[in-house]
Amino acid sequence: MKPAPFRLHRPDRVAEAIELLSVYGDEAKVLAGGQSLMPLLALRLARFEELVDLNRIGELSGISFDGEELVIGAMTRQADVEVAPEVRKSAPLLARALRYVGHFQIRNRGTVGGSLAHADPAAELPAVAMVLGAVVDVVGPRGARQVPAEELFAERWTTVLDVDELLVSVRIPVMPAEAGFAVEEVARRHGDFAMAGVACALSSGHGRVDRARIALFGVGRTPLLCPLVAKEMEGSLLDELHPAALDELAALATADLDPPDDVHATGSYRRAVAAHLVGRALINSLEELRRA
């Protein structure tokens, strides 16, 4: 099928894009890499009169540092982020997670901002952003604001952004040297969205875990942080975290999960897989942490 007719606006600057979004309100939709939006339009699952294409806005692309934060422009292609040396060094979990996002053709067009704004609960980047303590920069007609990733995802495919706001960049705190990461998922085929997945970031000081962040994806209406596991782990000696303790933590992470059934998997299968993946992610990130 083909999309319903729309008008394409191609602003050169963020301010112009905001102006268009303010004028057209609900009738307008932002177009980034088009890897999620174009299929929805082509299948006529969504219909917008006005598309505001961000691809000419140079100020939305690029990777830089601002003090102790890595700043990635919303329109930076996923493929560029995946191979950027500064990302591999300062936010290795992000580079690793990107390998699971679709296929390289999709990542060549797909953007980091598009993935966060699309808010698919089975997507990798929203969970990774939560685990890394990322904050997004948002600009709209009422000014600029920052939204922590853990407050960004309101519902399935829905963020807290207003219709006339743009996500302009994501800020990720540079990870400490003593850290370990893991991203694990199960999908039917490589490149498919996850049926269940987990992202994990641990850091330590003086032989103890000082920060533990674990988030599940593909098992709820948004990515889900596991604060109880973090509370149990923080302050623990690395030597105390033996396999039996990790099994208990994996059970704790998934105790309250109630994933929905759908055509891809039943909720109970997703929950069982998620518990297994949390266990695996904890083992792998601890192993990396111990070597750091």
Ligand X SMILES: Cc1cc2nc3c(=O)[nH]c(=O)nc-3n(C[C@H](O)[C@H](O)[C@H](O)COP(=O)(O)OP(=O)(O)OC[C@H]3O[C@@H](n4cnc5c(N)ncnc54)[C@H](O)[C@@H]3O)c2cc1C
Residue 118 touching ligand X (CB under 6 A): yes
Cβ proximity of 215 and 198 under 8 Å: yes
114 binds ligand X (CB under 6 A): yes
Site string for ligand X, 66-105 (x = CB under 6 A): --------x-------------------------xxx---
Residue closer to ligand X (CB basis): 117 or 281: 117
CB of residue 4 to ligand X, shortest distance in Å: 16
Site for ligand X in 151-210 (CB under 6 A): 161, 166-167, 191, 193
Q: Six-digit token pair at 190?
A: 């490589």
C-alpha pair distances (Å), 167 with each of 7, 72, 176, 188: 22, 11, 26, 31
Q: Which is nearer to ligand X, 166 or 200 (CB)?
A: 166
Q: What CA–CA distance (Å, rounded) separates 222 from 125?
A: 12
Chain centroid, CA 15 distance in Å = 26
Nearer to ligand X, 111 or 204 (CB): 111
What are the CA-CA distances from residue 264 to residues 48, 185, 186, 270 (Å)?
Answer: 29, 14, 11, 10
Is the Cβ of residue 136 or residue 282 nearer to ligand X in the bound state?
A: 136
Contact between 163 and 26 (Cβ < 8 Å)? yes
Query: If binding is defined by CB under 6 A, does position 115 make contact with ligand X?
Result: yes
232 binds ligand X (CB under 6 A): no
Nearer to ligand X, 157 or 269 (CB): 157
The size of the interface with ligand X (CB under 6 A), counted in residues, is 32
CB of 206 to ligand X, least distance (A): 37
CA neighbor of 182 nearest in space, from 212, 141, 223, 138: 212
**Region class of 119: left (phi > 0), else alpha (psi between -120 and 50), else beta:** left
Q: Is 26 exposed, middle or buried (0-12, 13-18, 19+ CB in 10 A)?
A: exposed
Among 9, 18, 24, 37, binds ligand X (CB under 6 A): 37
Binding site for ligand X (CB under 6 A): 29-37, 39, 54, 74, 100-102, 106, 110-111, 113-115, 117-118, 120, 123-125, 161, 166-167, 191, 193
